[in-house]
Amino acid sequence: MHAASLTDSHGRTLRDLRVSVTDRCNFRCLYCLPETEAAANFYQSRFIKNGAQRIARQWHSAEKILTFEEIERIVRVAVNLGIEKIRLTGGEPLLRQQLEKLVEKIAKIDGVRDLALTTNGFFFAQKAKALRDAGLQRISFSMDSLDRENFKKITGRDSLQEVLDGIDTAQQLGFAPVKVNAVVIKGINDHEIEALAGFAQKKQISFRFIEFMPLDSGRAWQKDLVVRGSDILQRLQKAFRLQPVVSANKSETAKRWSFENSPGAEIGIIAPVSEPFCGHCNRLRLTADGKLRTCLFSVVEQDIRAVVRSNADDAAIANFLQDAVWKKEARHHIGEPGFVQPERTMSCIGG
Ligand code: SAM
Ligand code: SF4
């Protein structure tokens, strides 16, 4: 069926593995894990008529979570099958104790070309040096607003300053480029698009605007809350002199632009809803409780934890990975009649 690689039945070869190290989070972003009064008000006023309902939050118990040794083993086998990029995520990955130990283990695996982390930034300044010393190569922050009150409304935490400090620390430590992601939601932070891009230009950051996807625990996603990538671009082109960045990497999810006369600064637009890139998707996800997901919107998962905990040898783990990947979904069906939102939210999948 397939040689020693991770190839699916649609001809895509997977190179990118996203590893969620915890489903827990210290933020309550209203597009991911809403639990705050602000989120409840926002959702209630708009969606109660649609029967929007919250998924009850229950963190995984400790024994369900993969150990660092189990994660390292799965990553090593996957890298032997052609995975090159590893991104650690969550939940909030910096809530996992001694994450630097896992970073160190993964950085040592022969064949890992890129080791990155996505964080809400709250604990980054504290942990940055240990992570860098352990071999972390790249860092992405999530920051959806530059306005303290709006940041608090979106994330449920009054912590904009900690995130800004984290971004500064990352730049001082030589992470380059530092990436920052913002999910854009109509009526929530779309008025800040130009300000966020201006921040990227000033700080020489790679800024990514992401379309809101139906992966929120409030199940309140609606198409009319999505600000289309093309609309974001139009606005930015009015405000800045932008030049397209041509990339040889076909599986890149972002369309990118650089600023004239601002080397190092860049914006990217990730538009999975209005301009799906499924045909080039080369990603595989491993959840904190050891399930493989071949698509963000998968409604079935493969239990690799059971295999790893059954005394299976590496060849059996490799076979399991290959079989799971072979069945990778052709594409997502967001916005189509009959679309089923996955049971897990982004915080439990690992974005
Ligand atoms: N807690 C970390 C953070 O916020 O960066 C890592 C995990 S978070 C789930 C990873 C990314 O998913 C973040 O950049 C976040 O903005 C994005 N995300 C979460 N829910 C989303 C949604 N419903 N639509 C689009 N992106 C989402
Ligand atoms: Fe937490 Fe990240 Fe989800 Fe926000 S986006 S609730 S920080 S996991």
How do residues 176-198 score in pLDDT, each as one tens digit?
Answer: 889 999 999 999 999 999 999 99
Residue pair 163/120 in contact (Cβ under 8 Å)? The answer is: yes
10 in a structural domain = no
* pLDDT at site 45: 60
9 in a structural domain = no
Residue 208 Cα, ligand 2 centroid: separation in angstroms? 16
Domain of residue 309, CATH code: 3.20.20.70
Cβ of residue 213 lying under 6 Å from some atom of ligand 1: yes
Cβ of residue 92 lying under 6 Å from some atom of ligand 1: yes
Number of H helices, E strands in the chain: 11, 12
pLDDT range class, residue 2, cuts 50, 70, 90? very low
233 in a structural domain = yes
pLDDT at 293 over 90: yes
171 in a structural domain = yes
How many domains would you assign to the chain? 1
Query: Average pLDDT, stretch 287-315?
Result: 93
* pLDDT at site 119: 98
**Domain encompassing residue 229:** 16-349
pLDDT range class, residue 86, cuts 50, 70, 90? very high
104 in a structural domain = yes
Q: What is the pTM of this model?
A: 0.93
Residue 269 Cα, ligand 1 centroid: separation in angstroms? 15
pLDDT at 40 over 90: no
Query: Which residue owns the Cα nearest ligand 1 atom 14?
Result: 142
* pLDDT at site 46: 59
Q: Is 207 helix (H, G, I), strand (E, B) or coil?
A: strand
152 in a structural domain = yes
Cβ of residue 34 lying under 6 Å from some atom of ligand 1: no
- Secondary-structure percent of the chain, ordered helix, strand, coil, rounded to 5: 35, 20, 45
pLDDT at 51 over 60: no
Q: Which ligand is nearest to the CA of 180?
A: 1
Measured from the CA of 345, which atom of ligand 2 is nearest? 3
Using CA atoms of 83, 95, 141, 131 in order, give the dihedral in degrees to the nearest 10: -70
Rounded distance, CA 41 to CA 47, Å? Answer: 10
* pLDDT at site 35: 67
Residue 319 Cα, ligand 1 centroid: separation in angstroms? 30
Cβ of residue 92 lying under 6 Å from some atom of ligand 2: yes
4 in a structural domain = no
